[in-house]
Amino acid sequence: MDKKKKRVSLLIPVKLDDPKPLSMLLKSLDKFNYFNRKDFEVFVVDDASPTSEVEEICKRYSVRYLKTKGVGKSAALNLGIKQTDSEFLAFVDQDIVILDDKWLDILMSNFSDEKIVYVSGKVVAYETSSEASKRWEKKGALNKGSKRLEIGQKFFKKFQFKGVQVQLFSVGTNYVIRNKVLKEIGGYDERFGPGGLIGGAGADLDIGYKVLRNGYQAVYDPRAVIAHQHPTSMFDLRSKLFTYGISDTAIHTKFWVEFGDIRGFFQIFYRTFQNFGRMIRGFLGLYPLPPRVIWESIRGNIVGPVKYFSLCYPIWSNKKVKRQ
C-alpha cells in the first residue's frame, strides 16, 4: 500500500460471526475501483470478531487491518482514528454495499466551505425480499429522505420541545467528517454504541450534536447513496428497534445532563409519545410497522434514561471524566 498521506481514510468497524457482509462490502469497493484511488485508504477495525476469516478476507484487498480486544464499537473506532493522518475520515458499517463509483466524490464535493465539516448521504435497503426488511424500508429505516439539507447554527439554536433533531442528518454509516474536527470534539463517546454501556446509535447522534454545538455546519446530500442489509426477520427488527429506542432517549438525556440542553429533557417525552402515536396508527393499519414492533421502540425509549442514569451518569459524575 502506498504510504503517502491520503486525503480520505475510510473506517469500517467490524464484529462478525459471519464474515459474508464484510466480504460483500469489500467486493463492492473493489468493483468500483476505490482501492485504486491514490488519495484514499481503507481501515478495517476488527473488535475481537470470533472468526479469523475477517483478517483473511482483508488480506485479499489493499486494506489496513486493525485488531482490538472487544472494547466496543466506539472505542475501537477511536483507536482506529488515532492511526489516521488524512484530512477527512469516512465511515461505513460492516453491513453496507457500495453501489457506484461516484458515492465518495459526491460526499466530498460538499466540502467547499471550511465551516462545513460533516457530510452524510442516503442509505437505502440492499434488498427487501423479507417482510421485515420491506416494512422497515417503507417506514424509512436509515433513509433521511430525498431533500438536500444544510444544517447550521440557526437549526441548532432553535428551541423545540422535540429536541435537537440531529437524526435528520446524523448517521453511523455513510458520512465524511474533517479529521481535525472529529478529534477536536472528542471523537466517539465510548459509553455509547454496540459493545458499550448503552448500545444502538447514540454515539452517532452524539457526533452530529457535537459538530453543531461547536459552531460547525453539516450537510445531508441524498445523491450519495449506499445500501444497507436490513434485518430479515421480525425478531431481529424488534431487537434492533428496542436498542435504537434505548440509545435515542439515552443520548438526549446526556445532552440535557452533561451539556445543560433542556431540549434533551423534552425530547425524551416527545420521542416516546411519538412512538405511541405510531403504534395507534399501526393498530389502524395506517403505519408500515406492526404494533408489536413499534412497542419495542417505546420500551427502549422508557429504558433509555434509566440506563443512562444507572450506567453512564455515575461514571461521568463520580469519576469526573472529561465530557465527550
pLDDT digits (tens, 9 = 90+) for 286-309: 999 999 999 999 999 999 999 999
Distance in angstroms (rounded) separating the CA atoms of residues 240 and 297: 9
pLDDT digits (tens, 9 = 90+) for 171-190: 999 999 999 999 999 999 99
- Dmax of the chain from CA atoms? 59
The ranges assigned to domains in the chain are 1-95, 236-318
Distance in angstroms (rounded) separating the CA atoms of residues 164 and 158: 8
Question: pLDDT tens per residue, the chain (324 residues)?
Answer: 455 778 999 999 998 778 899 999 999 999 999 999 999 999 999 998 887 899 999 999 999 999 999 999 999 999 999 999 999 999 999 999 999 999 999 999 999 888 999 999 999 999 999 999 999 999 999 999 999 999 999 999 999 888 999 999 999 999 999 999 999 999 999 999 999 999 999 999 999 999 999 999 999 999 999 999 999 999 999 999 999 999 999 999 999 999 999 999 999 999 999 999 999 999 999 999 999 999 999 999 999 999 999 998 877 766 544 445
Looking only at the bridges linking them, the beta strands covering 8-14 and 40-47 are: parallel
Q: Give the architecture-level CATH label for domain 1-95.
A: Alpha-Beta Complex (3.90)
